[in-house]
Structure formats: structure tokens, C-alpha cells
Structure 1
């Protein structure tokens, strides 16, 4: 193959929407771009336009290849990048509501920033990319995509500084208060929150604005969904060292104990996990936590008893907790009922008898040092608690609820459908 045929052939291969061929072709193009004459041929053949198009592909491998191609040209010939106008186009597309345009453009900008940071910064400033994305955090329909875009752009150092010193931390705190991190239409809102909290300067700015008060307010509410969201958000915050300070506040213990009484297992699981973290990191809260739990062992409400016995079981790794349980009269009263007749008050949305009875049994065995192969691994059980989105965001539940409101029984409906 002649020298003149190499470039068209490689670019033709790179145009394929293929996870293997296209990236491989770009891998060959990048080294030859160091040669001035070959680079000129690549430019004449539309290489920059091709790399830009590759950023729009759904495939991560193809998008990565396109970004690498642009960065390679920037390294050897930044004037070609400037003349092409690609930087401004990428900066404008980075604030686009269309994910296919936005995500690839941000990927390209981050790659280019490694080679021409001053030019990338200038393009972002002139296009008002960061300020526009920050403004979008105020609107529910745009908030999560805008937050996700900003987080990707914060791989660029000066963007981190711009975001943390702007109104963005306040807007993000407002998103948390309004439960926008629940996500809509399949969006992974909690995943976005996790990424927000992974950026130290941004996390610190949000903590300084009063995230503790916001979360405590959510936990103190009467709405079960709001309490559940508050617990899930709190779990994400306390994964970080500066966030663990929230669990040292005695005022947060009472809402956690109250949450254990709610007839919703994932919610109870989160409350138990946070109580466990509070006990581990704050010795002075041990009496408040343990006495609060033991006082509720006398309850015979199915949901509350399940929550309390679960929490005590996950805290029973601590010898002092086990000793306190064994010495408690409520525990012995519960043990008596367990081995005789355990009468419970049920909630229509709460646990069944078997679930509560099993939880009580596990607690009794734990504090008495009896090993059971049926007992769950508490650390794994607590970690495997994914956030369940609100019912109104769940298509299956929404359709089921709509059908339940019809007078026509589901069995009749399915039989009718089967005849057609």
C-alpha cells in the first residue's frame, strides 16, 4: 500500500461504528500524526471532523478513540484545532440537553485539556458552559443531567474552582432537600449524588451550607418516602470522613430510632446501618443508642419489633451491647414470648409473622453466643441495600396501581386478554 493510500484507508476503518476496528484504526493514526506531512494529509482528509463525530457515538470505546485522536492533534498542532473551530463547538455542546452531544463533548474537552488547558479554559469561558450548567441545577427537569455534566467537567482543575465558589453547592443542597436525587425516568440520581460527594472541595462546600440540618429535617418528617430518601442520602454522606461528623450528633439518634418502627424493610435497614456507624465512631453515643433500642423491645408491633431486633443484632458485634441486651428485662420478656406465644400487631404494609419471629430468634442466638448457619452476614446485608425509587417513578407499580383502581378484577382482565 502506497503512502498516499494509508490515510484514506485508516480513516475509512475509523468511520466504522465498531468497538474494535474504529479504535484500532485511531491507534495507528495517532503515531503517524506526529509527521507533519502525514498530519497535513489527515487534515485534508477530514480527520478532525471524523474524531468529533466519534465523540457522538454511544460506544465508550469509539468515543474514547475520538477523544484520543483530538488530543493527539492538539499535542502536535494546536493551531489546527483552533482553526477548525472545534473547541468552541465542543464547549457549546457540553451544555446541551442531549446526552449524545453533551457527554462526548465533555469527554473531548477533558482529553484536550491535557494538551491545551489554556485554550480549553478560554473556550469554556466564552461559551459560558459552566455557568449555564450551574443555572440548570435550579430546574428539576435539567438538574441531574446538568450535575452529571459538571461532575465530568470537574476533571478539569479550573472547573472545580469555578463550581465550588459558585452557587452550585447551594443548588445541589436544594436538589437534596427536594429529593431530586431520587431520579426520574430511569435516571440514577443516587449515583450522581455519590459522584458529587466524591469530589472533596464540592463535598466540603455542601457540608458547610448545612447538609446536616437538611438531612435531619428529612428524617423528622412524617412522609415515609422522605424519611427513606433522607436515610439513603445520609448513608452516602457518612461514607466520607468529614461526613461521619454527622453521626456524632445526639439529635440524629431519635429520628433513626423512630425510623425503625416504619413498616418498610429497606428504610429500616438504612436506619440500622447508620446506627451501626454512629456506634462505631462515637463512643459517647453508645448509651443513647442502646438504651433507646432496649426501651422498644417491649413493643409488639410487628414492624417496630422487626426494626429494633434487626438493629440490635447488627450492633451485637460489640460485647457491651450484648451484655446490655442480656441484662434487659424487655429482652427476657421477648424471649419468653418467643418460646411460648409471640402475639403481634400487624400493619397491612409491614412484615409477616415469620420475618419477625426469625429476626427475634437471630437476636436471641446472637447475644447468647449461639452460632447459626442461617444467620445473615450483617456487613454484607447492610451494604446490599440499593435505593428503591419512589413508587410514582416505577412504571410497573404505576400500571399495577392503575389496574387496581379498576373495578374489573385482574384475573378477569387476563382471561379476557387470553381469548384474543
Structure 2
């Protein structure tokens, strides 16, 4: 840290240096003269970085290597006869070998820039090979663009060509895999060393991202077959919903619909990353082509036109399948909600019937209770009058009163008191219940 910043005791963010180094990572390699570049890309899992670094260390056991640049996800080694550049990405790792060529040197179809590398070292690279391409860099003094154009035949392979870098270079390719490699030919007519390095790097990235983007196409075709079945099953379930006549029918359809929803969400979760990655890789391909600043060569398609005709339909297929999945998921969710609403309404209707039955039973119990209360008044009056009669008989000798008359007079009094007490108790209970609510 600068002394002035250190003196101020400023706390530096722990990621500052790392983020700045990442910003400047993977610069293009300046190139001069004739050059053969072999670019290998391996699709791997996210945990291969230690194994790849260990394997790169083995490369230096057999060659005198000088480390030119190194970071967590990037390394540049000079082995004398060749240079190798390693880059670690999320889904893949790339190994780019640079080998100088003699002026006018003819290349055998089997020649690579890593001929000096032991095949056992190549077999130790983690992952599966997804991209292998050669970029042959020559000057227009060695190979003229006119001679390349003259060698093209009307019935031969479709050649893609363009002038790039403000028409200071010519690029030719057919994007075919020939003898295990796709091939690019660059004829330098005046590019600087850094321009040349950037052009080679862009071509390698175009080929890499093109193949990585196309990984989404087989997934889209597989999902397309399943989507047809899922959409047909959803249509049949909608017919069954319309034909459902009982809660059991609706619950059966709801169970099947829930199972279909689980399958759809599983498919979406399984393919979202792949389709998103394909879209991102396609964007990188078109960005790198735009950076070439290509100009048309009469009679031949440009790289932009070739990608629009060959790569764009595949990417549109992936996007269409992704949209169909999302739409199917939304439709299943809407129909599931509709069916659940129907089931809930039926349950509410049944609950209302149950509450009505309970209300009728409560009213019946109330009437029975009122009847029992009336009988209770009679019973209590009877027992009260008997008590009065017993008391009157016990005091007959004292007052010489007629016990039957006393009993008869007490009956309406007792009945009135019992009736009044019962009414007061009912009013008190009703007041307490009203206060509780």
C-alpha cells in the first residue's frame, strides 16, 4: 500500500487486489511472424482446478518451463519449443499451444503445436475434449488471399471468409472437423503484434463458445419430446376436470396434476442452467465476431452471416423450449389452483351442511331443554308441596290448621318461585355467553 495510505491507517478491502487482477487477466499474446496455434478445450466439473495445476506441473518435468504469467485461473508457460496458455472457466478449461513456424514451412495435416508434448501428459488432463482447433497464421507474402480464393471449388465445402481488423488481415474457415481439428487460416496483411494476438484469441473463443452454446441443443430436443407428452397429459386432465362429478373424482385429478407439476419443475430445474448458459455463450460468440470488424469478401459468407444461419436457429430452439417449459409450468400451476378452489368450495359446502345440521340439533336440544325445564318446575313444585305438607302435619297440634288447605295454598307459590328462579338462571347464563363473544 502507498505510504500515504498506510499512514492514514486506511483499511483495504480484502478483494481489491484480486478483483483488479481478474480485470487484467487473460490478455492476448502478442504474435509476430508465421505461427501455428492449437487450441484444446476440455469440459469438466467444477472441482478439477487442483488436478489441472498438478498436471501442468508435470509438463514442466519434461521441459524447461518459464512461468510468464500466473493466477488462480490462468497460467502462461514458455517451454522453449512452444508456449502453452491455460485458462480455467466455470464449465471448461482451455489449453492453447503456440509454436513458431519457419517462413514458407509446409504443414502436414497431422502437425500440431504440441507435438513436443508427451501423449501421456495429454491423457492426464481432466475432463472430456469438446473443442480442438488449429489457427494457422501466415503473412500475405507467404500465401496470397487470391491463391486461397482460387483453390475454392463451387462444389466443395462452404467456406466462411472475411477481411478483419480494418482490412489488415484475411480469415478463412469452414468450421468442419478435419482430422480431429477445426481449422482457421489467418493471412496477415499489416496487423500489429497485439492485433494479431487479439484476432487469434477471438477465433479460439468463437470456436469454444460456439460448441459450448450448442450443448443446449441436445437437451432442448430431449425436453421437446417430453414437453409434447406433458402438454397432451395436461389437456386430458383438463377434460377430466370438466367431467368430474364427485369430490373423489376431483381429488384423483388433483393428485395426477400435482405429479405432473413435480415433473415439470424437475425438468425446469434440470435445464435452466444449460439453456441460460447456451444463451450467454451465444452472446459471447456474436460479441467476438463483432470485435473482428469484418468486411465482406465477394461471393463468400461472413462469420456473422454464417452464425446467423447455422447457430442462431439452434439457440432459438433452446429459447423456445425454455419458454414452453415455463408456460407449461404456469398452466399446470393455474389449473392446479383452479382445481384446488373447486375442492375447497366443495369442502366449504359440506362444512356448511354440517353446521346447518349442528344448528338444527342445537335448536332441538333447546326445545327439549325448555320442555325439561317445564317438567322440572312441575317436579320441584310437587316435591316442595310435599315438604310443606309434612311441615303442616308436624304443627297441626299447635295451630289446629287444615294441612290440605295449607298444601293447596303453597303449590302456586312454590311453582311461581321455581319458575322465576329458572328464568333468572337462564338470563344469567345468556348474559355470560354474550359477554364471552
The alignment's TM-score, normalised by the length of structure 1, stands at 0.24
Which structure has the higher relative contact order (CA within 8 Å, separation 6+)? 2
The alignment's TM-score, normalised by the length of structure 2, stands at 0.23
More helix by share: 1
More strand by share: 2
